[in-house]
Chain A
C-alpha cells in the first residue's frame, strides 16, 4: 500500500466531487468521502504519479505562488502574441532552441513542459532525457545556457521545491 499516492488521489477526487456538486449537505459529503476513498484503493494501489511530491508547508506555499506566477505569465503571453498578430509587419523570428532542466521527477517535467507551452512565445516540441526542445517565436539567444535561463528558470525554481 502506498498511503501517500492514495491520500493525494483521495484529496483530489473529493475536491472534484465537492466542486461538481456545489452543495455541502451531509449525504453528499458522506457519499463523496466513501467513493473517493474506494476508487484510489482499487486503481492507485501501485501508481507512483505523486510519489515525488513533497508535502511540507514550504511546498504548499510554493504551489500557491507558482499558480500566481503562472497566471501572470499566461496574461503576458497573450498580450505578446496579440501584439505580434496585429502588427502589420508580423515581427516574428522563430527557431527551435534546446534547454536543459534540473528536474528529475516525471510529473514536475510534465508541469514544466505544459507551463512553457502556455507562456510567452514558447512551446515544447520534444523532451529527450534532461533536454527540452522548444519552439520560440522570437529567438533572443541560441545558446543552451542562455535560453535555459530565459525560459526555464522562472518556473524551475518553484517546481524544484515542490517536487525535488
Chain B
C-alpha cells in the first residue's frame, strides 16, 4: 500500500524534526536544567512519532513498536529526573534568569536534607 507508506514517512519525518528541535534546544538553553527540559520532551515525542510512523510502514511490527514506545515513555522521564536531581545535589548552578528556588530555601530552613542517601 503506497498511501500507508507515505503517511508513515510523513509521521517519521515529523519525529525527526522534533528530535532536531530538541538538539537545537540543547545548544540554546542557558543551564543544565533548561537543557533537560528540551532534551526530555523533544526526545520522547520524537522517538514516539518515529515509531508511530514505522507502524504505518511495517504493520506487522505493531506489537513490538508499542512496547518500545512504552519503554521510552517510562525510562526517559525517570532518567532525566535522576540526572537533574543529582546535578542539583552536587551544586550545578542555575542560570541567571532563574526567578525562584524553593528547594534551596527549604534546604536552608532544614526542611529537606541537603544530601539524600537514598540515591
Judge whether A117 and B85 touch: CB under 8 Å. Answer: no
User: Which of A47-55, A132-140, A149-157 participates in binding chain B?
Assistant: A132-140
**Is B3 among interface residues, defined by CB-CB distance under 8 A?**
no
**Is B16 among interface residues, defined by CB-CB distance under 8 A?**
no
Check A121/B37 contact, CB under 8 A, given A85-B28, A98-B102, A133-B103: yes
Complex Cα–Cα for A47 and B107 (A): 33
Most A CB within 10 A of own CB, among B60, B76, B100: B100
* Residue from the list A22, A86, A92, A113 in contact with B81, Cβ < 8 A: A113
**Is A125 among interface residues, defined by CB-CB distance under 8 A?**
yes
Judge whether A77 and B63 touch: CB under 8 Å. Answer: no
Judge whether B18 and A78 touch: CB under 8 Å. Answer: yes
Q: Which of B1-59 contact A (CB under 8 A)?
A: 18, 21, 24-25, 28-31, 33-34, 36-38, 40-42, 44-45, 48
Most B CB within 10 A of own CB, among A85, A95, A133: A85
**Is A37 among interface residues, defined by CB-CB distance under 8 A?**
no
Give chain B's interface secondary structure class: helix
Check A137/B81 contact, CB under 8 A, given A95-B100, A118-B73, A126-B103: no
Judge whether A123 and B44 touch: CB under 8 Å. Answer: no
* Residue from the list A78, A125, A126 in contact with B42, Cβ < 8 A: A78
Check A139/B112 contact, CB under 8 A, given A20-B64, A98-B106, A118-B44: no
